[in-house]
């Protein structure tokens, strides 16, 4: 059975914003390894549309960006959206009955499926479907924005913590 893992970069004050801070080289290489080992990714419409950037090579990419793009393209993607009519390569659209679709997805796969985006994670948290929360804590204070926990704040238990690069700590929690 697959495990749903919601992991994102987060500021010290609890916000996610890929435009305000991003991964430095060591953390980006960590994300490449994560993407290479995942059983797939689960997206809401907004984050999926942002991630479509990786569908086409860019002339200024370095080797790490090419490696991430290759891993992202290879893995299956599921996109939860009522407004999209179609999705790109290696992606499946989920329009109705989120709980049933995700339970079926988890039952039919092994490994980790990444959950991308706080809005989708909110819905999956409400349904009790997220198996692990990974916070990549950056030494940045944003003061406002989209919170990592965009909805219910589930009781959690710390499973592990490790330093990923000189400034980022990964905190892994499971529902308590």
What domains are defined for the chain?
A: 3-175 (3.40.430.10)
Pairing between strand 77-80 and 156-163?
A: unpaired
Is the pLDDT confidence value at 19 over 90?
A: no
Query: Residues 163, 169: contact at Cβ < 8 Å?
Result: yes
Q: List all residues 6 or more positions away from 59 whose beta carbon is below 8 Å from its beta carbon.
A: none
pLDDT score at 51? 95
pLDDT score at 21? 80
Query: Residues 48, 115: contact at Cβ < 8 Å?
Result: no
What is the percent of the chain where pLDDT is above 70?
100
Is the pLDDT confidence value at 66 over 90?
A: yes
CA distance 172 to 159: 5
What would the mean pLDDT of 112-135 be, rounded to a whole number? 96
Which of 122, 163, 175, 149 has its CA nearest to residue 16? Answer: 149
Least confident range of 19-33, 113-127, 129-143: 19-33
pTM: 0.94
Backbone angles phi, psi at 73, to 5 degrees: -65, -35
CA distance 176 to 165: 28
Buried b (16+ CB within 10 A) or exposed e, 130-159: bbbbbbbbbeeebeeeebbbbeeeeebeee
Residue written as token pair 């039952």: 107
pLDDT score at 153? 87
């Amino acid at each position: 059975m697959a495990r749903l893992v919601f992991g994102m970069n987060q500021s010290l004050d609890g916000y996610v914003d890929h435009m305000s801070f991003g991964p430095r080289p060591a953390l980006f290489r960590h994300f490449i390894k994560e993407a290479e080992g995942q059983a797939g990714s689960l997206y809401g419409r907004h984050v999926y549309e942002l991630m479509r950037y990786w569908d086409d090579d860019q002339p200024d990419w370095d080797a790490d960006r090419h490696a991430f793009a290759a891993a992202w393209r290879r893995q299956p993607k599921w996109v939860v959206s009522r407004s999209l009519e179609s999705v790109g390569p290696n992606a499946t659209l989920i329009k109705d009955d989120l709980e049933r679709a995700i339970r079926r997805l988890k039952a039919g796969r092994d490994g980790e499926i990444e959950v991308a985006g706080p809005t989708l994670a909110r819905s999956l948290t409400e349904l009790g479907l997220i198996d692990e929360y990974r916070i990549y804590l950056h030494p940045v204070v944003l003061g406002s924005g989209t919170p990592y926990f965009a909805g219910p704040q589930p009781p959690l238990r710390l499973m592990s913590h490790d330093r990923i690069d000189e400034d980022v700590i990964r905190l892994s929690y499971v529902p308590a």
